[in-house]
Chains A and B, each alone.
Chain A
Amino acid sequence: TQLLEQSPQFLSIQEGENLTVYCNSSSVFSSLQWYRQEPGEGPVLLVTVVTGGEVKKLKRLTFQFGDARKDSSLHITAAQPGDTGLYLCAGVYNFNKFYFGSGTKLNVKP
């Protein structure tokens, strides 16, 4: 079992649609991060959320950290084919362990 569970696991949508990806845990994290990974490459950091209830926006992407710091969400508005990729949440657990979520594979069709 994963410490961080993401849903949905796969998502295929049309260009222009909105979507939300969820990252959930039964454990409290001091912070959570979201990454995007292209096939054959390392993950690229999108954002770090630190404070419970925090909301960060990055152009069409909105990230939220749950009040209890056990969950996070990523919302994409008006998705574009360039948003296609594997989205991963990740966080530091117990101050010395860094874990990735189970991943969400997003495909945006033109």
Chain B
Amino acid sequence: GAVVSQHPSRVICKSGTSVKIECRSLDFQATTMFWYRQFPKQSLMLMATSNEGSKATYEQGVEKDKFLINHASLTLSTLTVTSAHPEDSSFYICSATRGADYNEQFFGPGTRLTVL
């Protein structure tokens, strides 16, 4: 149990286009979902925390208008990279919690975004 999926697993897009990444909790309801970004050979950096039905909380330095997060249901959160540029190329990972314990996070497999 407690499986989190991401779609797509890989996406290549042209500079200036927008890309949507989906994060789904397959067998549980996720009270909170997190979005992380990871550059090659580096650690995961928290981008934002989202709760169902409310606005996401973004970390300092993360552009809200650039990275749109929608958490419309208890099983789905989406991250849209708007007007993508090559520097947005990265590995994006989501995670979800079942309750209030942030220690119990279930991670998705990640999405590799390449912006040409």
Residues of A bordering B, CB below 8 Å: 2, 31, 33, 40-44, 48, 86, 88, 92, 95-103, 105
Contacts and interface: CB of A to CB of B under 8 A. Distances in A.
B73 to A, nearest CB: 21
A104 B112 CA distance: 21
Contacts, number: 48
B54 interface: no
A46 B17 CA distance: 38
A10 to B, nearest CB: 9
A100 B105 contact: no
Contacts of A98: 34, 46, 102, 105
B36 to A, nearest CB: 8
- SS of B interface (majority): strand
A2 B43 contact: yes
21 contacts: A31-B103, A33-B103, A40-B91, A41-B110, A42-B4, A42-B95, A42-B107, A42-B108, A44-B107, A48-B103, A86-B43, A92-B103, A95-B102, A97-B49, A98-B34, A98-B102, A100-B36, A100-B45, A100-B46, A102-B42, A103-B43
